[in-house]
Each structure stands twice: as C-alpha cells, then as structure tokens.
Amino acid sequence: MSVVESHQDLTERFLEFFRTYYRDEIGVLAQHYPNEHRSLYIEYDDLYTHDRDIAEDYLEKPDEMRAFAEEALSLFDLPVDIDLSGANVRLTDTRDAMESISLAELEAEHIGDFVAITGQIEKVTKVDPNLETAHWVCQRCTTPTPVDQGRNEVQQPHECVGCERQGPFDLHVGKSDWVDQRKLKLGELPRSERPPAGSTARSTSRATCVTSAARTVLRIAPANRPQCSRR
Ligand SMILES: [Zn+2]
C-alpha cells in the first residue's frame, strides 16, 4: 500500500469514527468555533470500541494520529458552512479506559507516548499566557514571519522570509497566538490511596499526558480529575 493510500485510509477511519460517535459534539463545536470552543474531545473508550487498531496506534504515535484525526474533522460534513480545519482533536480518558501507570513506573520508553498516570495534584500555578506561534515582523522590510514556539526560549526566525536578512525582528503581540497555560505538579498517591496491584479501582486523581517534550494543555474535570492532553 502506498503512503498516500494508507493516509487516506486512516483519515477515512477517523471520519467513520466521528460519524458514528461524535456527530452531535462536532455540531456543537461548529456552532461555537472558533471563539468559545476550539477542540473536539474524544474518549479513548469510544475510539477503542470503534477501531482498536487506531486507538492503540494513538497511544504510540499521538502526534501522527492526531494529525489524521484533525484532517478527518476538517472534512466532516457539516450542515453549516464552517471551516474546522484549525480545530484540535484531543484524546481524553474520563472513563478510565486506558491502563494507568504510577509516576514511579514512568520511564524513558514512554517518551512520545500518550499515557495515563495516576497521582495526586500537589501544586497548581496561576494561568500564564504562553506564546505558541510568534509573529515576527522584519524591521528592514516589514515582512511578517510566523515561528512556532517550543517550550523554553523564544524562537526567532533564522532569516526574514521577505528580504532573507537576519532581521532584526519585532514581535507583533496582537497577531501572535497565545495559549493560557497552567502548570500542575503531580505527585505519588499516598500509600493508603493506591489501588492494589491489578485492581481497576478508580483513582482520586488522574492525568492523561503526552510524555514528550511538547507542550501539554491541562483541563481540570470535575471531582479533582485533571485531564491533560496535547493541543
Ligand atoms: Zn525582511
């Protein structure tokens, strides 16, 4: 099978999944996009029930699979003329369908995977705006150059896309994309609250995170249950 065919196939499988499970939610998203809602949250449980292969692949290759899911979302037939091509798909697990690991079990092999971690929230920071895509304006020719930002230092363009010189550049704050970010510190559950090995008892706090260097976005669900997923 060619790469193109397999890509189309994955997009089609996500489309089929959305038609079966998320027609109403996508309708609501379309009504409120992009001002109030920007993301479609999909339950791991639903994905696994519908298509076990793509559910398992999603845990191993979250960035790749999310791209297919978002492409499918952009192709979804809507009764209204709304373009959802900038909307996010976020995998979540409020039904505890994913196998959960403890902090102590988190290892290098999990880097890049999508994992559910059981722990207790020890600290929550205030909301801080975080630069997601910086909009740089060349001081010499005023051409704007957008640059996706990483986690740490602010990244400038290597060269201006207009005049190909190395700036200098000014950050256009209003045209840059910012995201509100809160940091949560997750600690081990106290021994008395840890479920016995092999039990499926629900934990008091649970976070679903991508353990890659990529930024995560946190969504606090009711009953002290943090949900965190890639944007
Ligand atoms: Zn320039």
CA gap 7, 107 in Å, rounded: 30
Residue 143: the pLDDT is 95
**Which residues neighbour 214 within 8 Å (Cβ) at sequence distance 6 or greater?**
63, 151, 230
Burial readout 43-61 (b: 16 or more C-beta within 10 A, e: otherwise): bbbbbbebbeebbeebbee
Residue corresponding to tokens 């339950």: 43
Q: Which fold has domain 100-126+182-230?
A: OB fold (Dihydrolipoamide Acetyltransferase, E2P) (2.40.50)
The CATH code for residues 3-92 is: 3.30.1640.10
User: Domain limits of the chain?
Assistant: 3-92, 100-126+182-230, 134-174
Residue 219: the pLDDT is 39
Structure tokens at 54: 């793509």
CA 176 vs. chain centroid, Å, equals: 19
Q: What mean pLDDT comes out for the span 183-194?
A: 74
> Which residues surround the ion ligand 1 when the cut-off is CB under 5 Å?
138, 140-141, 143, 160, 162-163
Residue 193: the pLDDT is 66
Residue range 138-180, pLDDT digits in tens: 999 999 998 988 767 889 999 999 999 998 999 999 999 888 7
Asked, as a colleague might, if the bond just before 34 is cis with ω within 30 of 0, I would say: yes
Q: Dihedral of CA 88/89/92/95: which sign?
A: positive
Of 127 and 64, the structure prediction assigns the larger pLDDT to 64
Residue 126: the pLDDT is 84
104 near 188, Cβ under 8 Å? yes
156 near 139, Cβ under 8 Å? no
- Measured in angstroms, how far is the CA atom of residue 152 from the centroid of ligand 1? 25
- Cα→Cα distances 105→29, 109, 116, 119, Å: 36, 10, 11, 11
**Res. 182: pLDDT tops 80:** no
- Measured in angstroms, how far is the CA atom of residue 166 from the centroid of ligand 1? 8
Residue range 22-60, pLDDT digits in tens: 999 999 999 998 878 888 999 999 999 999 999 999 988
Would you tell me how many other CB atoms lie within 10 Å of the CB of residue 66?
22
25 near 40, Cβ under 8 Å? yes
CA gap 134, 140 in Å, rounded: 18
- Measured in angstroms, how far is the CA atom of residue 129 from the centroid of ligand 1? 28
- Measured in angstroms, how far is the CA atom of residue 58 from the centroid of ligand 1? 40
Residue range 69-126, pLDDT digits in tens: 999 999 999 888 899 988 989 888 888 788 877 778 877 777 778 888 777 778 888 8
**Res. 218: pLDDT tops 60:** no
